[in-house]
Structure 1
């Protein structure tokens, strides 16, 4: 009788173990962030720890900013290096990059932060047609080879006007110049057509008109969050931007 009880207990324990093993917890997707022009990966230094505190693995891509293809290739390498699904985030020019790179099967969703969201066959230059010229564009400087930088005044008064001057001085010094021809290069695919998207609209933006942002967000069918912020809400309102990304992470399937 005792032997029978022990055998039944062992079977029950084995069944419980098997049932638990059959339904493992689904790991959270990692987050890959693509920065924009006139910046580098450190542009996201305030958001990254907020995501990590929630148990999310994060990688900030360092774009060469030499061409659309080069930046897309950098994003693809970061995506391929992740063990599972990816929420792909792009700021400004980075939105163009994730629109193409996001076609990767590992990408579950896209998050655009004050970012360009072109359709297939469109460039950044195409998207600006029909909107007032942003004030910040008057503060771009090109070198003899065609690389563009943002002046100190442009950074302080138009790119990040809601940040302290000491911080914008550092941002000016560490910015990544972009090869000007990149703005005319067209994406070949639009990943947002097949993937859920989120969009952070910045109402005090001097680099991409807020009306243009709202129109792009509507076109891609994004879940929209609107902030009273400059072009860099990841710097001025990091908790709110992190909350949008976490929403995309938690919604991933």
Structure 2
């Protein structure tokens, strides 16, 4: 097992662009001579009449030009439509006119978020993967319990062709461990600050296996109509507990958009995990307050991690400010497992 200890970036820079549209210039009509602003009086004279007649003729000629130009434009537009229809008719059946699909030589990257987060938490990772030509899917993890969430992932994977790399964060590790088992297309597992359970092991057991987790005291329960309890992290505790290495502005949005998990999910055991038969990579932060760093080290070693990156001062969501390091591991996993069948 290879373990790297790396330094965090100092901060996540954010930029915002403001676009303003120019206001239309004011147009003023000035009357000739000593005319009032409200009306214009023209005294006819032979000379002036000729001038007026010529002006009217010029206006008529300009109007004819405009009408001719409009007709020409309509003919051009009709020709473009006909050309496009002809091109579509002669295109090979079943093929898109513009093929924007990523290269079939690359595996599909399926990203699975955990509790107190949602799919957009992978945005920084997704943009880099797409730029490199990887097909990507960020799963909307239901967070309704280990068995049902694993079933949801299994059903989703059935609709994908070719090789797959599963990437999980936090509780998402429970889901990719169980839901990825037994699928021959799953070639690698990348664990980012996760639970990587043994069969029968629960997230609650792993979180408390070593001292250091402070998650319990930050939780805000909501009792549902059926008696189940949803858990959120209190918004005023979210930044420190969950995302201390992200800017407060980013953490505030995450806190407001977090998705809850059923309390019972933390007590549900895993099935036989995929990491026993599928190669794995691990990344976590040394200051994770949800899952202690010692637990991460234990799980990575137990799973036989091909490479483990521990980022000093990293939080539970270290993969957000350190998205490039996450992509680095995914890329390595794709390269190592390329062509394995």
- TM-score bucket (shorter structure): 0.7 to 0.9
Cα deviation digits, residues 183-228 of structure 1 (max 9, x gap): 1111111110111000002112111100110010000001211112
Pair 1:169-2:252 in alignment: yes
Residue number in structure 2 paired with 1:3: none
- Structure 1 residue 132 displacement after superposition: 1.1
Cα deviation digits, residues 48-105 of structure 1 (max 9, x gap): 0111111110100001111112211222233222210100011000001111011122
Residue number in structure 2 paired with 1:245: 330
Aligned mate of 2:199, from 79, 96, 120: 120
Partners of 1:74 and 1:85 lie apart in 2 by 19
- Structure 1 residue 129 displacement after superposition: 3.9
Aligned mate of 1:234, from 315, 319, 326: 319
Partners of 1:27 and 1:77 lie apart in 2 by 23
Matched position secondary structure for 2:201:
coil
Aligned residues: 229
1:1-253 map, 5 Å: 27-103=105-181, 104-145=183-224, 146-222=229-305, 223-228=307-312, 229-252=314-337, 253=340
Matched position secondary structure for 1:117:
coil
> How has the CA–CA distance of structure 1 residues 27 and 180 changed in structure 2, closer, same or farther, with 3 Å as cutoff?
same
Deviation >6 Å, runs of 4+: none
Matched position secondary structure for 2:105:
coil
Contact 2:284 2:316 in 1 (8 A): no
Matched position secondary structure for 2:134:
coil
Q: Cα RMSD (Å) of the superposition?
A: 1.4
Contact 2:172 2:194 in 1 (8 A): yes
Contact 2:163 2:186 in 1 (8 A): yes
Cα deviation digits, residues 88-129 of structure 1 (max 9, x gap): 011000001111011122111111100001001111122234
TM-score, structure 2 as length reference: 0.65
Structure 2: gaps of 5 or more residues: 1-102
TM-score, structure 1 as length reference: 0.87
Residue number in structure 1 paired with 2:37: none
Structure 1: gaps of 5 or more residues: 1-24
Partners of 1:183 and 1:217 lie apart in 2 by 20
Cα deviation digits, residues 1-39 of structure 1 (max 9, x gap): xxxxxxxxxxxxxxxxxxxxxxxx971111001100001
- Structure 1 residue 167 displacement after superposition: 1.1
Larger helix percent: 1
